[in-house]
Structure 1
C-alpha cells in the first residue's frame, strides 16, 4: 500500500501470487481487480483489502490537510504571525526525504504523484508565509510582489503536472532488484524513512512553542492538524491491520515499517497537544473578541455627551 505521508516502503508485501501481467511471471488470479489496476497489488483476502482501503483514506486525508490552511492564510493575511516557519521548514524537509526514499526504491506511480503533491502544497504554504511577511512588513503595497507570487504559483503548477510523468518514466528504467543496487537502495530507503520521521516529529515543536508564546491559535486552521491526525491514525492502522494476513515473519514486517510507524504515530501524539492548545486558547480568543465588541458601545456615548455640552 502507498504509505501516505511516509512513503519509502510498500506496506503490504504479503501476497505470494502478486505480479504484473508480464511474460514468465505468475498472474494474480484471485486478487481484487481495481486494486491490481490502481496499485499493482494482488489483494486476495479481507485483511489486505481493509489495509488498502484504510491506506487510501489516509492518503486522501493528507491530500486535503494543507488546503484549509492555505484558505485561512488567504482569508486573514496574517500567516506569518500565526504559523511557525520551523513547522513549514521541517514539514517540507520531511516530504523531500520521503520523495527521495520513494524514488530511490522505485515505489508505485500513485505514491510518487502523491508525494509530489505534498511538496507542491508545502511550497504554497511557504510562499504564502513569505509573501505576507514581506507585504505586512512594508508600509506600502507593491504590485511587483503580487505578480511574483502569481508567477511562482503558476510555475509550481506546471511542475506539478509535468514532474510525475517524468519521474515515472525515469523510474521505469531503474531495476532496484539487480544484485548490484538492491542492498544500497534498501539502505537508502530506510535512511530516508527515518530522516522523514525525524523531520515530521520536529515540525510540531516549533508550532507548539509559537502557540504557547502567543497564547493563541488564531490564524491557523485546526483542519490542518485534524486531517493530519486522521491521516496518521489511519496509516498506522492500515499497516497493523494486515498483520493477520502475513505469510512471513511479523517481527520482520514491523521492523521494515518501523520508521514510518514511528513517524506517523509520533506525530499523531504531538497533534493531540496541538488540539489541547486549540481548546485552551479558544477561551482567550473569545474573551478578546468580547472586549473588542464592548469598546464601540461606550465611545459613541461619550462623544455625544461632549458634543451636547459644547452646545
Structure 2
C-alpha cells in the first residue's frame, strides 16, 4: 500500500496543458472534463488518460482490500490467531508516514482523502484485533468492551472525516513559504515516502512467519492480499503508462515516485509468497474438515470388552 498510488505529472508537463489565467483561474483547453473536475489535473492525451483510469482502479482496489478481512474476522472471531500484530503495526505505520509524505509533497486532494480512508480501515482492523483478543482471553462477553470499541471507532470516524478538509485548507500555507523552506519541506516529504516503503515491505514478514508457524492460513481472507496485489500492480502500470506522454524529464519523474514504486512493487513480490502459502496450506484446512474424527464425534466403543463377554 502506498500513498502516491496515482501518479502526477512534472511541473513542466502540467504547465504546458494550461492556458494563461482567465478571471484569476487557469483554463485547461484540451483536457478531459471529468478528470479536471475530480482530480484537478489537465489530461490531454491517451497515455495520460489510461494512466488516470488505471490509477483510479488501483485506488479502488486498495479501498476495498481490508473489507473482506474485517468480515472474515467478524465471522469466525479468530482474528488474533490469524493476523499478525506486526503486520497491522507496520501497515498502520506505513500509512501514517505515507500520509505525511503525501501532505508535505503537496499531492492531489483525492490522494489526501484516500490515505485518510486507509488509516481509518487500519484503525478498524486494529480495534477488531484488540477486541477479539481481550474477549477470547476473558472467555466471556463484555458489553463494556463492545461499547468502548464502538465509541473508539465513532470518534476516529469523526476526526478522520474532518481531517482532509483541514489539511487541504492548510495546504495553501505550504505554498506561500519561501523557496528554501518549501524545498526542505518537500525533501522531508520524500523521506517520509521512503520510510513508508520500508514499513510496507516489513509488514509482510510477520504475517509470512505466522502462517509458516501455524502451517495454516485459516482465519485470514485471501482477498486482503489479492486486492492489494491488484492495487500495487495497477499503480506501477499507471506510472509506466504516463512516461511516453511526459514533456519534461522522465528521470526526474521516476525519482519523485521512486519511494512509492519501491513500496508498491516490493510488496507485490512479497504477496506472491503469501499466495504460495495460501495454496500450500489449503490442503491442511481441507484435511481438517474431512477428518473422520470431526465427522464422527464418538470414536470409543459403547461397550468395553468385559461388558460384552458378561452379556454373552
TM-score scaled by length of structure 2: 0.91
- 26 and 85 in structure 1: CA distance in 2 versus 1, 3 angstrom threshold: same
What are the ranges of 5 or more consecutive residues in structure 2 without an aligned counterpart?
none
| 135-144 or 202-211, larger mean C-alpha shift | 135-144
CA distance in 1, matches of 2:93, 2:205: 15
CA deviations over 1:29-85 (Å, ceiling 9, x no partner): 000011111111110000000100000000000000001111111111010000000
Moved more, 63-72 or 99-108: 99-108
1:242-270 CA-to-partner distances (Å, cap 9, x unmatched) read 11111122222212211111110000000
In the alignment, structure 1 residue 76 sits paired with structure 2 residue 73: no
The residue that corresponds to 1:46 in the other structure is 46
> Aligned in 2, Cα 1:10/1:172: closer, same or farther, shift over 3 Å?
farther
| Cα shift at 1:108 | 1.8
- CA distance in 1 between counterparts of 2:132 and 2:9 reads 43
Q: Which residue of 2 aligns with 1:276?
A: 276
Mapped partners of 1:248, 1:110: distance in 2: 24
Q: Distance in 2 between matches of 1:19 and 1:129?
A: 49
Comparing 25-34 with 264-273, greater Cα deviation is found at: 25-34
Counterpart of 2:136? 136
Q: Does 1:297 align with 2:296?
A: yes
User: In structure 2, how many angstroms separate the alpha carbons of the residues matched to 1:22 and 1:263?
Assistant: 40
Distance 1:135 1:192 in 2: 36
Q: Is the 8 A contact 1:17 1:26 kept in 2?
A: no
1:209 aligns to what? 209
Decide which of 9, 12, 16 is 2:9's aligned counterpart: 12
Instruction: State the shift of 1:152 in Å.
Output: 1.0
Deviation, structure 1 residue 118: 0.2
Q: Report the Cα offset of residue 170 of structure 1.
A: 1.9
Tell me, in whole angstroms, the C-alpha distance in 1 between the residues paired with 2:296 and 2:76: 25
Task: Assess if the C-alpha contact under 8 Å between 2:3 and 2:102 holds in 1.
Answer: no
Q: 1-side partners of 2:302 and 2:110: how far apart?
A: 65
Structure 1: runs of 5 or more not aligned = none
- Taking structure 1 as the reference length, the TM-score comes to 0.91
Residue 161 (structure 1) aligns with: 161
Partners in 2 of 1:139 and 1:37 — Cα distance?
53
Q: Tell me how far 1:141 sits from its aligned partner.
A: 2.4
| Structure 2 Cα separation of the partners of residues 137 and 27 of structure 1 | 61
What SS class does the counterpart of residue 86 from structure 1 fall into?
A: helix
Name the structure 2 match of 1:245: 245
The count of aligned residue pairs is 306
Deviation at 1:173, TM superposition (A): 3.6
**RMSD over aligned Cα, in angstroms?**
2.4
Q: How does 1:1-311 map to 2 (within 5 A)?
A: 5-7=2-4, 10-13=7-10, 14-19=13-18, 23=23, 26-175=26-175, 178-291=178-291, 293-297=292-296, 299=298, 302-303=301-302
Aligned equivalents of 1:186, 1:197: Cα separation in 2: 17
Distance 1:156 1:303, change over 3 A: farther
Distance 2:5 2:97 in 1: 9
Change (3 A) 1:69 1:176: farther
CA, structure 1 residues 47+87, in 2 after alignment: closer, same or farther (shift >3 Å)? same
Comparing 34-43 with 11-20, which one deviates more in the overlay? 11-20
Task: Give distance in 1, aligned partners of 2:269 and 2:295.
Answer: 43
Shift of 1:298: 6.4
